[in-house]
Structure 1
């Protein structure tokens, strides 16, 4: 009876935490790495398409095969995405070391690179898929199905608890941790250095301590994100699935970090004020966000800007003041 009561109390605390923090993602799970404690959750058990989060599994399977990472892989026409017709800056015919192909798949989430990794796995795609199934079983990911290496297929599906397991396993590979947390890198393509950037704009941003990162997007999956972060001395893994826009995904990540750090006045409150001033959806487009430290800049269509600066542990409220050229947020200290 006492155990049941204790479990009910924990569930109510967890549910309260989820309600207290506004989330734009359909499914959210945040777990403290050192203790396994659930810090935040929202529809965490929902099984949803995972888009390019798949590439973390692809990377682990490729590294487990211990192939020569200096071996040149030629990007083949069969690596071109004919399902979603996604773009790629990796040209067909380019010969690239496997190590760089892996980074293109992880850091820049390039689909041709991920497809090439699966195609050149020992035994080809059939052997690759069998290795993925074995890895899924070994990690105890009972609610996960992965059919191909890129994440373009909506049949690649999982849920929050399984993806936390995958993230923790991936973080144990130094190559994956290093390559997913590079903000940018220059890779030799056909004798010319080409700069590629991380698809997660929080990587390299001021105030962020990120140990693992992977974004994902397809129409079915929405905007997805896996990150391992350190905040206020705590190591945590977050999984965000099916956010409606990149801005919502970033706001969710900011709110997660603020919650872990024990900061008040979630960023969602600022976003709500901005929406009421028709900033977030000005011109029918989602805003561009730049986040770092404890600050946030929201640049909406038309060049208007919302600047938010917050100090940890300071309770405050914001009002949006609009002008012809820009919008600023004026913050008032509360005693």
Structure 2
């Protein structure tokens, strides 16, 4: 399987594991994304942050005539990018891409480069979570194989080799501390390998009409895991409608029975809105790699309204998500 590349970031949670061997990175990588005969190109530079600041050439998703979009824009089902009430927010410094949307209706209240394809880091795990709940139930178990222990980056860190563990516990490890080991264990459980699971992810993205989205792993450290704000918003709406996922991502701290010394596993969310004690926070997911920058989907509910903020390559994911959500709730009181 393709193993993660080490990235140091508290955003993805857990301890950092030292890899035994350092692999040389190419100076430039060009990836062609083919969808329905159209192509988009992402070229990786040698910078240390995402988007244009990292020398990353980003492009709009291929144009298609979709009915709801303007000028043949690629807009996934359930997202209303144009029309209706809008809010005016100026983020400083601006995120590379972003979206403020109504989770219940899909109406977009604010956007910045909503159709530009970028690396999304561990926001990839949102699709991983969706596939897990679609292919398992609450009683499912997963045997921890060696692939789940050969990883770098964020981790749960105590997965017991050869033992059966609860898929539900692995889901908490996936979504709270963003454990790459949990992602690989879940991928192995469902598809037999991380590579096979990535193929399932892409098939599901195609079924959902997420046309600027592509995955190469279950955990997201590779730059080939990419999407755009409108697709991330559409996927977030879908996954928040799944009670198993919604319950997990609304959790700040989970204490779970686990087959390790002491018998319990304590996990904490890295959602910056929860750390800021933002009222009504109920989700969802952070991510970070150098090319992707800091990424975040934040979901909050107040009264009868549930809003979501998508930020790709933001210098301040917590503060900017709060700024967007505040503006949205002021525009849609009640």
Q: Give the TM-score category using the shorter length.
A: 0.5 to 0.7
SS of equivalent residue, structure 1 residue 147: coil
Give the RMSD, CA atoms, in angstroms.
2.8
Q: 1:45 aligns with which of 96, 100, 115?
A: 115
Greater mean alpha carbon deviation, residues 41-50 or residues 159-168: 41-50
Q: Distance in 1 between matches of 2:218 and 2:156?
A: 18
Change over 3 Å in CA distance of 1:69–1:50 after alignment to 2: farther
The structural deviation recorded for 1:71 is 1.6
SS of equivalent residue, structure 1 residue 186: strand
Residue matched to 1:151: 220
Deviations 1:184-239 (A, max 9, x none): 11232513223210011323754521333111111111111112222464322211
Asked if 2 retains the 8 angstrom alpha-carbon contact of 1:182 and 1:203, the reply is no
Q: With structure 1 as the length reference, what TM-score do the two structures score?
A: 0.66
Q: 1:112 aligns with which of 157, 181, 189?
A: 181
Change over 3 Å in CA distance of 1:209–1:123 after alignment to 2: same
SS of equivalent residue, structure 2 residue 116: coil
Q: Distance in 1 between matches of 2:307 and 2:224?
A: 28
Q: Distance in 2 between matches of 1:98 and 1:186?
A: 15
The unaligned stretches of length 5 or more in structure 1 are 5-9, 264-311, 313-335
The structural deviation recorded for 1:69 is 3.8
Asked if 1 retains the 8 angstrom alpha-carbon contact of 2:142 and 2:186, the reply is no
Q: Distance in 1 between matches of 2:116 and 2:301?
A: 26
The structural deviation recorded for 1:45 is 1.5
Q: Distance in 1 between matches of 2:265 and 2:324?
A: 34
Deviations 1:130-180 (A, max 9, x none): 321221012110000011100111100000111111001101111111111
The structural deviation recorded for 1:254 is 1.3
Change over 3 Å in CA distance of 1:131–1:198 after alignment to 2: same
Greater mean alpha carbon deviation, residues 26-35 or residues 69-78: 69-78
Q: Distance in 2 between matches of 1:208 and 1:69?
A: 32
Q: With structure 2 as the length reference, what TM-score do the two structures score?
A: 0.67
Deviations 1:115-138 (A, max 9, x none): 111122144345423321221012
Change over 3 Å in CA distance of 1:87–1:54 after alignment to 2: closer
Q: Which has the higher helix share?
A: 1
Q: Which has the higher strand share?
A: 1
Residue matched to 2:312: 241
Residue matched to 2:272: 201
The structural deviation recorded for 1:101 is 0.8
Q: Distance in 2 between matches of 1:93 and 1:119?
A: 15
Aligned residues: 248
Greater CA radius of gyration, 1 or 2? 1
The structural deviation recorded for 1:47 is 0.7
SS of equivalent residue, structure 1 residue 121: helix
- Pairing 1:173-188 to 2, within 5 Å after superposition: 173-187=242-256, 188=258
1:230 aligns with 2:301: yes
Q: Distance in 1 between matches of 2:269 and 2:195?
A: 30
Higher relative contact order, structure no. (Cα contacts within 8 Å, ≥ 6 residues apart): 2
The structural deviation recorded for 1:24 is 3.9
1:257 aligns with 2:257: no
SS of equivalent residue, structure 1 residue 140: coil
Residue matched to 2:157: 90
Q: Distance in 1 between matches of 2:141 and 2:105?
A: 40
